[in-house]
Structure 1
Amino acid sequence: MHPLRHRLALATLTLATATGYTASALVALIAPFAPNAHAQPAPVVWQMATEYPATSMPGEGLTTFAQEVATRTQGTLAPQPTFDASAGVKSAQMPAAIRDGKLQAGDAFGGALGEVDPIFLLSSLPFVATSVDKAHRLADLARADYAQAFEKQGQHLLYITPWPPTGLWTHKPVGTLDDLRTLSVRAYDETSADVMRAAGAKAQNLSFADAMPRLKDGSVNAVLSSGDGGAGRKLWDYLPYFTAIGYAMPLSFTTVNAAAWQSLTPAQRDAVTAAARATEGKQWSRLNTRLTENTARMRANGVTIDDNPAPAVQQALQAAGLSAVGVWQTRVGERGAALLKTYFSAEAGLH
């Protein structure tokens, strides 16, 4: 590619992200001024979306991926990320939106995809994988199952994004079981909603986009989330207490429409695969400092963090969690039970 053409393509992606214009519209504006514009095709634009902020782990993943792809394809492919559900698509709707071509690609939180396939609830099972290393091993173990489930939805799995540990944001401290029973919790999947109910709280499965109005009107007074998602959404404006219950380290998934994937040249697919691999590597690496950064930001905004939950509260949650894991195994069938057996056996061998 002509060097100037390469610079123009990269500039188009940057300007599109900054201004909100589509990359294709900007290409149309600048094309007459590019050398040999009539001889060079416009970059292929992938509209990508997430319901999370640009500063969240999924948001940073989309930005990283777009930059990696633009560089590795020399501007011939231009992913255009959008954030905060501005594309009108929440995580639960993402597979259908991508499959049906409303979007070419996007990020979806795994916990919201349980109705698509219960395998996606694996990473958010309570108290199963509660450290970075454990979450990474479980993700690697289940990757082929995730990819196969997305293939059935007309999608190709690009990369996985891990979340920091899930905790409980509340409007007041949770020091007793009575405190827990006063909570109306936003849960992020049906499993976590069931766990919270079994432990004594009220709970409902809500997307972040749907949860924010409920926080404002007071019908929700607690949120199950990591410090990452919470920090990005400024949950401290409503919920100034965070209890580090170590519930799970769930995953988000970034996929692309299968037809869009197949329409790429072999060289482009190789470049996108390399970009996805590089993005996922950076996402896992970010976790090493992310928790510290989130904790500092939360404390700076007046959040009281309880790193030692009350034993009675933790025991109630863990007992409810154990039952929920059993329910999931029944629902997902033999493959899920086999995955967990392999995972737990490997974990036992490490100790």
Structure 2
Amino acid sequence: MRPFRRRSAHAVLSLALTTGIAIAVPALLVPAAHAQPSPVVWQMATEYPATSMPGEGLSTFAQEVAARTQGALAPQPTFDAAAGFKSAQMPAAIRDGKLQAGDAFGGALGEIDPIFLLSSLPFVATTVDQAHRLADLARADYARAFARQGQHLIYITPWPPTGLWSRNAVGSLDALRALSVRAYDETSAEVMRAAGAKAQNLSFADAMPRLKDGSVNAVLSSGDGGAGRKLWDYLPHFTAIGYAMPLSFTTINLAAWQALTPAQRDAVAAAGRATEDRQWARLDTRLAENTARMRTNGVTIEDHPAPAVQQALRDAGMSAVGAWQARVGERGAALLKTYLGTEPGSSR
């Protein structure tokens, strides 16, 4: 009887499939549907706008991770410090699990480890090639410094060259000395003070109220994306001093990283590499795009700073680099020496 019953069941199922008639068949003949597990959501944040380099990096990374893990991991980026954390607060927020991952500007992390100030040292790496070479040289040191903070480095974001936004043109030393500048790390604050200006080390988010109330009349920053969009309403002059091409860093909570399966870690690492490659590639056209957008919005760009202004900044910058070398210790100083030793025409 068993062969007959088996054939009968197949015949009934075949009839149902070919005629569309709903026929009750034994449950064993129909595979049970397996519910898909809910995706693992990562809250990610940056203090910068979505259209800035860090903002676009977070969006790209989220898309890459979702695609490479078939939706099993779902990073959710937020921008403009909407999560309540500025760059200086980001490592602690990630370490403590308030966020799973996030982007932080390296210049804001100098109190955690002075190695993070390397990329924003004045007049050291001012082209894309120089900035990329310095980032690759220091990558392992950055990763170790973040590991000590309970997080894993995923990828690096470069910024376009830092310039000087100001309410009035900076065409002389007197004009430079009249500035009250938002600097983005303690090194740049020291440089601006040494050159004769007033300076405060402020996060981007904290700088905006100061611009509105007039206590800050200049900002050290790139002309990038949404960051530039927020500045040109207050500061219609941009002087391309070629100060630095600093870095931002995107990290993930170390416990969250270790909780991933090996396949998921491989996917996230690949997403990070793809995102970083995209970030560096964006710089090929970014400067021209930023310049065009700034001019469209009424910003006067001075591509050739007054020689006296540029020299004052460079002299102050050399002193600041020396102070950083003394602070960072042998390893960091050796990194800088190695970089400068491979840089054609370096006089440092």
- Aligned match for 1:335, one of 331, 338, 343: 331
Matches within 5 A, 1:137-152: 137-152=133-148
- Cα offset for 1:188? 0.1
Amino acid at match of 1:63: S
Structure 2 partner of 1:85: 81
Instruction: Give the number of the structure whose alpha-carbon radius of gyration is greater.
Output: 2
Structure 2 partner of 1:125: 121
Secondary structure of the 1:40 match is: coil
What is the CA–CA distance in structure 2 between the aligned matches of 1:326 and 1:240, rounded to whole Å? 33
What is the CA–CA distance in structure 1 between the aligned matches of 2:214 and 2:279, rounded to whole Å? 34
- Aligned match for 2:176, one of 162, 180, 185: 180
Structure 2 partner of 1:257: 253
Q: Rate the CA distance shift 1:279–1:345 in 2: closer, same or farther, 3 A.
A: same
Secondary structure of the 1:237 match is: coil
Q: Rate the CA distance shift 1:73–1:350 in 2: closer, same or farther, 3 A.
A: farther
What is the CA–CA distance in structure 1 between the aligned matches of 2:55 and 2:230, rounded to whole Å? 15
Secondary structure of the 1:227 match is: coil
What is the CA–CA distance in structure 1 between the aligned matches of 2:153 and 2:283, rounded to whole Å? 21
| Contact in 1 for aligned 2:228/2:294 (Cα 8 Å) | no
- Cα offset for 1:337? 1.0
- Cα offset for 1:347? 1.1
Matches within 5 A, 1:43-192: 43-192=39-188
What is the CA–CA distance in structure 2 between the aligned matches of 1:250 and 1:125, rounded to whole Å? 8
What is the CA–CA distance in structure 2 between the aligned matches of 1:37 and 1:301, rounded to whole Å? 56
Q: How many residues are aligned here? A: 317
Matches within 5 A, 1:299-310: 299-310=295-306
Structure 2 partner of 1:212: 208
Kindly provide the CA deviation profile for residues 241-292 of structure 1, in whole angstroms up to 9, marking residues without a partner as x: 0000000000000000000000111000000000000000000000000000
Q: Rate the CA distance shift 1:119–1:172 in 2: closer, same or farther, 3 A.
A: same
- Cα offset for 1:41? 1.3
Bigger fraction of residues in helix: 1
| Contact in 2 for aligned 1:187/1:203 (Cα 8 Å) | yes
| Contact in 1 for aligned 2:49/2:226 (Cα 8 Å) | no
Amino acid at match of 1:72: R
Structure 1 partner of 2:341: 345
- Cα offset for 1:230? 6.5
RMSD: 1.6
Q: Rate the CA distance shift 1:331–1:229 in 2: closer, same or farther, 3 A.
A: farther
The more displaced of 96-105 and 337-346 is: 337-346
Structure 2 partner of 1:3: none
Is 1:201 matched up with 2:201? Answer: no
What is the CA–CA distance in structure 2 between the aligned matches of 1:46 and 1:332, rounded to whole Å? 33
Is 1:223 matched up with 2:219? Answer: yes
Is 1:280 matched up with 2:263? Answer: no
What is the CA–CA distance in structure 2 between the aligned matches of 1:197 and 1:230, rounded to whole Å? 27
Amino acid at match of 1:210: D
What is the CA–CA distance in structure 2 between the aligned matches of 1:198 and 1:230, rounded to whole Å? 30
| Contact in 1 for aligned 2:177/2:198 (Cα 8 Å) | yes
Give the TM-score, by structure 2 length. Answer: 0.89
What is the CA–CA distance in structure 1 between the aligned matches of 2:119 and 2:214, rounded to whole Å? 30
What is the CA–CA distance in structure 1 between the aligned matches of 2:295 and 2:208, rounded to whole Å? 21
Q: Rate the CA distance shift 1:317–1:349 in 2: closer, same or farther, 3 A.
A: closer
Amino acid at match of 1:217: D
Kindly provide the CA deviation profile for residues 176-209 of structure 1, in whole angstroms up to 9, marking residues without a partner as x: 0000010000000000000000000000000011
Structure 2 partner of 1:295: 291
| Contact in 2 for aligned 1:231/1:298 (Cα 8 Å) | no
| Contact in 1 for aligned 2:50/2:226 (Cα 8 Å) | no
What is the CA–CA distance in structure 2 between the aligned matches of 1:276 and 1:287, rounded to whole Å? 17
| Contact in 2 for aligned 1:107/1:254 (Cα 8 Å) | yes
Amino acid at match of 2:87: S
- Cα offset for 1:231? 4.6
| Contact in 1 for aligned 2:48/2:227 (Cα 8 Å) | no
What is the CA–CA distance in structure 1 between the aligned matches of 2:325 and 2:237, rounded to whole Å? 33
What is the CA–CA distance in structure 2 between the aligned matches of 1:350 and 1:167, rounded to whole Å? 22
Question: Which runs of 5 or more structure 2 residues have no equivalent in the other structure?
Answer: 1-31
